[in-house]
Amino acid sequence: MKLLIAFLAGLLMSVGMAISKMIDPQKVLAFLDLSGDWDPSLALVMAGALAVYSVGYRLFIHKPAPLFDKQFYLPTARYIDKPLLIGAAVFGLGWGMVGYCPGPAISALSSGSSGTLGFVLAMVAGWFVARKLKIS
């Protein structure tokens, strides 16, 4: 059951990225690029996702446990620190260069595009390097 839930969660998110066209880097760049013909669609993707998640979170988080596990696994870090801010800035630069954040890039792997595969492999290399080279 856990595996089915995890699969369906990934599937729903991915279909959402496909329908909203967030999977298309040109659509994302049309939102991030304020200098051209600006397309505000991505703001509504975020708004739609947040509306559902923030309400659902409030309704369920008071339960003693999730349906198929014994506890909630929530992030414990509290402070806005240097790794968070530097990491977010570096991520933002890469996002604005091509228009891919991790979700759409992984979802688009099924297209068979060599550019998408190259992006994902470079991203995995980045995850590996960042594990060795920590910011303190």
Partner 1 sequence: MENFTPVSALIGGALIGLGTLLLLVGLGRIAGISGITSTLLFQKEDKLWRLAFVLGLVAGPLLTTLFYKDFSYSTPELSPFTLAAGLLVGLGTAWGSGCTSGHGVCGIGRFSPRSLAATLVFMLFGVLAASLLF
Nearest CA-CA partner of 109 in 95, 123, 128, 97:
123
The residues near 96 (Cβ < 8 Å, ≥ 6 apart) are 29, 32
The count of residues interacting with partner 1 (CB under 8 A) is 117
Phi, psi (rounded to 5 degrees) for 86: -65, -45
Residue 64 interacting with partner 1 (CB under 8 A): no
The least CB distance from residue 23 to partner 1, in Å, is 5
Per-residue binding string, partner 1, 105-134, x by CB under 8 A, is xxxxxxx-xxxxxxxxxxxxxxxxxxx--x
Contacts (CB under 8 A) with partner 1, residues 69-98: 69, 71-75, 77-80, 83-98
Window 36-55: residues binding partner 1 (CB under 8 A): 36-42, 44-54
Residue with tokens 């659509």: 27
3-state secondary structure of 7: helix
Calculate Rg over the CA atoms of the chain: 17
**Least distance CB 17 / partner 1 (angstroms):** 7
Q: How many CB atoms lie within 10 A of CB 120?
A: 16
Residue type for position 109? L
Residue 98 CB, shortest distance to partner 1, in Å, is 4
Q: Does 34 help bind partner 1 (rule: CB under 8 A)? A: yes
Interaction of residue 136 with partner 1, rule CB under 8 A: no
